[in-house]
Amino acid sequence: MAGDDGRRRAWGWVAHLRDGGTTPWAGWHAEAERGPYLPGAQQLELLRRLNLAGRPSAALVDRVLSASAPGRGTPDLELVGADSGSAFGPRPVDPAQLPEVELTRVASSLVADDLVTAGTPALREPAFVRPWRTRYRLVGDPWLADPARDALTARGRPPGGRGAVVLVLGTDLATMVADVWTARAFGAGVASWREWLDPLARARSVPPRVDLPRTATAWAGRVGAGRVRVVLDPAALPRLVGVRRSLPARPRPSADATDLARRVGAVLGILVLPQRRTELLRRSLLPRLLEGPGAPGAPLAVPPQHADWALDRAARMRDDLTGAGYAVHGDPDLLLPRREDLAAATAGPTESGVLELALRLLLGSGDRPADTSDRPTEREGHR
Amino acid sequence: MTRRVLLHVGTPKTGTSYLQDVLFRNRPTLASAGILYPADRFDGHFLAALDLMRLPWGGLEREAIGAWDRLATQVRAHPGTSIISHEILAAASRSQVGQAMESLGHGSGTEVHVVLSVRDLVRQVPAEWQENVKHRSTISYQRFLRQIRDPARRGRISSWFWSVQEIPDILNRWGLDLPPEHVHLVTVPPRGGDRELLWKRFSHVLGLDGLDLDLEAERVNPSLGVPETALIRRINRAANRQVAPVDYRPLVRELLAHQTLSRRTRSPRLALPPDVHPWVRDLEDAWVTEIRERGYDVVGDLEDLRGGPPPRRWANPDSPVEKQVARAAVDAVKALLLENARLQQEVRDVRGELDEAYRALERSYLRPTYRARAKAVRRLQASAMGRNALQAYRAARGRNSRSA
């Protein structure tokens, strides 16, 4: 039980953090007058991390202190040594010991708010629709197809139309699997990388969107096999859709950035409608994740323990496609991931990396970067 | 007139669905008495709570965007008493409570009362596990009990359970800024008591006494027995990956659980295992002592919060009597067959209506005037001059339809 002294000490720490202080709770002793209710340990520690990383504005400080972690999970926790003295409720904690995922929960909610407030950059007026355009449809790997389709639409060449050729886009299977997860993280939402990937690999199946033989067969049934092409060589795509200028390469956000988008997207799901969520994630958040110091970082990759699955399924995919006789642009062996790439793959998103990115985004929302010269020192914190 | 808000924030499984159903259906009667129940759909306050707490809920959250602000706006605009009720509000954090209170006008002239309906933990623990199962969970009863007994409260199930069931902590959050006489506890009578007593307590605390309300329930959240809950859990394990949330709710939760399996009232009831019983009773004792000291307005009897003794024969839902599960499964299959037959009939009816519409359309095509016009258009389209004439005619007519 903490009593009034502990509560006053906690309010002193709140004031210290509001002033940009970075002293951990365990090392804080000064007291201050009590306010209405203490923010949770997660919010206070998040503010301390923001102070360590930069100089949050007063508005951001207020938002952090009045935020709550979204969704189900750990509720707001009290500070050990400054709890209300109640024998009920979750145990108080030392905020420095909180798992980073708890700080990211609060931060992702604030990032979602920022995105909604900022909106999306205005789209360039689409060019007039060329009547003589090549009729096409882009299917397959969504992270390859979506940017290419958007670019073509902006150039006055929307997909579809009578006699359209169906272009099934693909690359090596390991990348395609990562692409499906990335597209969903920046779209309708998805479970965490390993929660999503591991059952898939255990069942030795591949996501339907990148099951290229199945996609090709489905389209062949609708338009005839003669109008289905499998495109594994990205350089072949402009010619197939009738343009000379190259098409944008697919964005490569890091594994941490993609995981942050997934978490922010979950909050956006309750703030905006699904289509708007995707727009905010892809047109507003994604460019910010691809810029800045250290961006984009290590990309998402299938971990080594799933290498056999990825290689087996890729070989089967190659054999099925070539056996079915579809026109393939590019070497069918491009479907096979390189074993050395799989062996060197990283462990996927990291909690510390995701939190660091979230802090960077929050500080970037109109806040000044770190300037340690005028930040209170640890010693000042003990006054 | 003082603006009052009666904010019923939980807890789950305390007759909340029934209360919300009565309030929703009797909105005109309530309005005539100056009481606002601001909802245009039955689950309006649920959506508002999802919005306030930023809770995803199987896609339902899409319908919740901005719902709390709309609700609060209606409440602030009403000069008399407003009632808000949803049990998941019990899980709101302190800052969410602060946000809710402020948006309802607390601190700027509105008198806010918090109402918490509560039931003994001996019944709440198995009821919460059953709620988890009815929301697609596949967790076993033993594992559920292990999780909620973890003092660190790690994991979603444990943290959610305590956030909506630990009465003193809920009141720490919701009652923080209120005088104790504005915090009202409605206790659920013990099993086997007067069935109308709970309603009378709600009616009293919400100021509904003397109003001519229709109390016939349309929506309730009935309980299942041991084999029935075990069956739903097995269905979840088998079908979760294929059945989308939007289909799960009407088919499994409503049709199977609520409308079919809850009618099997002679099967063994869910209960606490005897070895967990003393732990729960100790918690109940501590809660009763704490609540008594705080001086809240108790509607009912705090002794209601002490659960009954353990059952003489405890039925383990993790290893139910297979014969009982099989019987429940037959009832479930029958319900699905009947529902399927009803849907098939509906398809036949719709198809019949569609065929009739097609026939009517064909008859209109066969009219001589239509045929003459169609023939004229075909002829005109056969030559360049004709097509130009047709285009000029359409421009003059002010319509760009290509069909005659």
pLDDT (tens digit per residue) in A48-67: 999 999 999 999 999 999 99
Burial per residue of A103-115, b for 16 or more beta-carbon CB atoms within 10 angstroms, e otherwise? bbbbbbbbbbbbb
Q: Are the CB atoms for B223 and B131 separated by under 8 Å?
A: no
Is the Cβ pair B93, A68 closer than 8 Å?
yes
Q: Is A67 in contact with B53 (Cβ distance < 8 A)?
A: no
Q: Tokens 């460019």 belong to which residue?
A: A287
Q: Are residues B287 and B380 in the same domain?
A: no
Task: Report yes or no: A381 and A22 within 8 Å, Cβ to Cβ.
Answer: yes
How would residue B361 be classed by pLDDT, with cut points 50, 70 and 90? confident
User: What pLDDT score does A293 carry?
Assistant: 66
If 0-12 CB within 10 Å is exposed, 13-18 middle and 19+ buried, where does residue B72 land? Answer: buried
pLDDT value at residue A296 = 67
Q: What pLDDT is recorded for position A162?
A: 86
In a domain, B132, yes or no: no
- Which tokens sit at A5? 């002294």
Question: What pLDDT score does B289 carry?
Answer: 95
pLDDT at A380: 38
How many domains does one find in chain B? 2
Domain boundary pick from B254, B278, B306: B306
Residue B188 lies in a domain: yes
Digit-coded pLDDT (tens) for B252-307 = 999 999 999 999 999 999 999 999 999 999 999 999 999 999 999 999 999 999 99
Domain that holds residue B43: 4-120+152-222+269-306
| Residue B332 domain flag | no
Chain A contact set for B93 (CB, 8 A) = 40, 68-69, 75-76
Selection from A110, A92, A67, A47 nearest residue B53 by Cα: A67
Query: Residue A165 forms beta bridges with which residues?
Result: A136
Quickly state the pLDDT bin for A2 (edges 50, 70, 90): low
Cis peptide bond upstream of A337, omega within 30 = no
d(CA A18, CA A22): 10
My answer on whether B290 and B371 are in the same domain is no
Whether residue A266 is predicted with pLDDT greater than 80 in this model: the reply is: yes
CB contact under 8 A, B168 and A88: yes
Please say if the pLDDT value at position A383 is more than 50: no
Contact B164, B12 (CB under 8 A): yes
Whether B54 contacts A71, CB under 8 Å: yes
Question: Chain A contacts of B176, Cβ < 8 Å?
Answer: 37
User: Distance between alpha carbon B57 and the CA centroid of its chain, in Å?
Assistant: 11
Strand residues in A40-199 grouped as ranges (E): 54-55, 136-140, 165-169
From the CA of A196, how many Å to the nearest CA of chain B? 12
CA angle B313, B314, B317 (to 5 degrees): 145
The complex scores an ipTM of: 0.80
B119: which 2 tokens? 């039931």
Q: By percentage, how much of chain B surpasses pLDDT 90?
A: 77
The helix or strand, by DSSP H or E, that contains position A120, with its residue range, turns out to be: none
pLDDT exceeds cutoff 60 at B102? yes
Q: Could you read off the pLDDT of A317-346 as tens digits, one per residue?
A: 999 999 999 999 999 999 999 888 887 777
- Cβ atoms B325, B317 nearer than 8 A: no
Distance between CA A256 and CA A233 in Å, rounded? 28
Res. A82 pLDDT band, cuts 50 70 90: confident
Query: Are the CB atoms for B308 and B122 separated by under 8 Å?
Result: yes
**Alpha helices (runs of H) in B135-274, residue ranges in sequence order:** 141-149, 156-165, 167-174, 197-205, 226-239, 245-248
Asked if B280 and B397 sit in the same domain, the reply is no
Total number of residues shown for chain A = 383
Measured at the CA of B53, the angle between CA B49 and CA B59, to 5 degrees, comes to 75
Q: How many CB atoms lie within 10 A of CB B107?
A: 12
Q: Where do the domains of chain A lie?
A: 3-119+362-381, 136-252+299-349
Question: Which pair of tokens denotes residue A367?
Answer: 């806040």
* Residues above pLDDT 70, as percent of chain B: 98
- State the CB neighbour count (10 A cutoff) for residue B355: 10
Give the span between the Cα atoms of A366 and A347, in whole angstroms.
33
Residue B319 domain-assigned? no
Find how far residue A39's CA is from the centre of its chain: 27
> Could A39 and B95 be called an inter-chain contact, meaning their C-beta atoms sit closer than 8 Å?
yes
Name the β-bridge partners of A299.
A254
In chain B, residues with a C-beta closer than 8 Å to the C-beta of A86 are 168-169, 172
What's the gap between Cα A132 and its chain centre?
A: 38
Whether residues B296 and B393 share a domain: the answer is no
CATH code (residue B198): 3.40.50
**B355 found inside a domain:** no
Residue type, A69: A
- pLDDT tens digits for range B141-175: 999 999 999 988 888 899 999 999 999 999 999 99
Predicted confidence at residue A294, as pLDDT, reads: 64
Contacts of B168 in chain A (CB under 8 A): 86-89
pLDDT category of residue B93 using cuts at 50, 70 and 90: very high
Instruction: Tell me the pLDDT tens digit for each residue of B173-199.
Output: 999 889 999 999 999 999 877 778 999
Verify whether the Cβ–Cβ distance B172 to A89 is below 8 Å. yes
Across the interface, whether the CB atoms of B51 and A270 are under 8 A apart is answered yes
The structure tokens 């097995």 sit at B234
Residue B399: is its pLDDT beyond 90?
no
Is residue B395, in this structure, part of any structural domain at all? yes
